[in-house]
Copies of this chain bind each other. A is one copy, B any other.
Amino acid sequence: MIKTSDIERPSMEFLKDLSGISSATASGELKRLGITNPHILGPIARTPGKKIVGPAITLQFMPKREDLTSSTEAIDQKNAEYNDPEKQLHRHALYHTQPGDIVVVDARGDLSSGVFGEMMLTYFKGRGGLGVVIDGCIRDFPMVQKLGLGLWLRGVTPNFHTQTNIFPFAVNVPVSCGNVLVIPGDIIVADDDGAVVIPINLAPQLLKKATDHSEWEDFSRMKLAEGGDLRKYYPLTDEARSEYENWRK
The verdict on A74 contacting chain B, using a C-beta distance below 8 Å, is: no
Given known pairs A122-B224, A141-B193, A217-B119, the reply for A35 and B66 (CB within 8 Å) is yes
Given known pairs A24-B117, A65-B199, A140-B193, the reply for A164 and B36 (CB within 8 Å) is yes
State A24–B161 Cα separation when bound (angstroms). 11
Minimum CB–CB distance for A42 against chain B, Å: 9
Given known pairs A27-B163, A39-B112, the reply for A230 and B67 (CB within 8 Å) is no
State A141–B51 Cα separation when bound (angstroms). 12
- The B-contacting residues of A in range 34-53, CB under 8 angstroms, are 34-37, 39, 41, 44, 49, 51
Interface string of A176-215 (1 = CB under 8 A from B): 1001110100000001111010010110000000000000
Given known pairs A24-B117, A67-B202, A117-B24, the reply for A158 and B194 (CB within 8 Å) is yes
Contacts of A226 in B (CB 8 A): 126
**Contact status A225-B140, CB under 8 Å:** no
Contacts of A7 in B (CB 8 A): none
**Contact status A51-B142, CB under 8 Å:** yes
The residue of chain B having its C-beta at the shortest distance from the C-beta of A78 within the complex is B32
State A35–B202 Cα separation when bound (angstroms). 28
The residue of chain B having its C-beta at the shortest distance from the C-beta of A50 within the complex is B142
Contacts of A179 in B (CB 8 A): 63, 165
Interface residues of chain A, those whose CB is within 8 Å of chain B, are 22-24, 26-28, 31-32, 34-37, 39, 41, 44, 49, 51, 62-68, 73, 77-82, 85-86, 91, 94-95, 108, 111-112, 114, 117-120, 122-123, 125-128, 139-142, 145, 155-160, 163-165, 169, 174, 176, 179-181, 183, 191-194, 196, 199, 201-202, 217, 220-221, 224-228, 230-231, 233-235
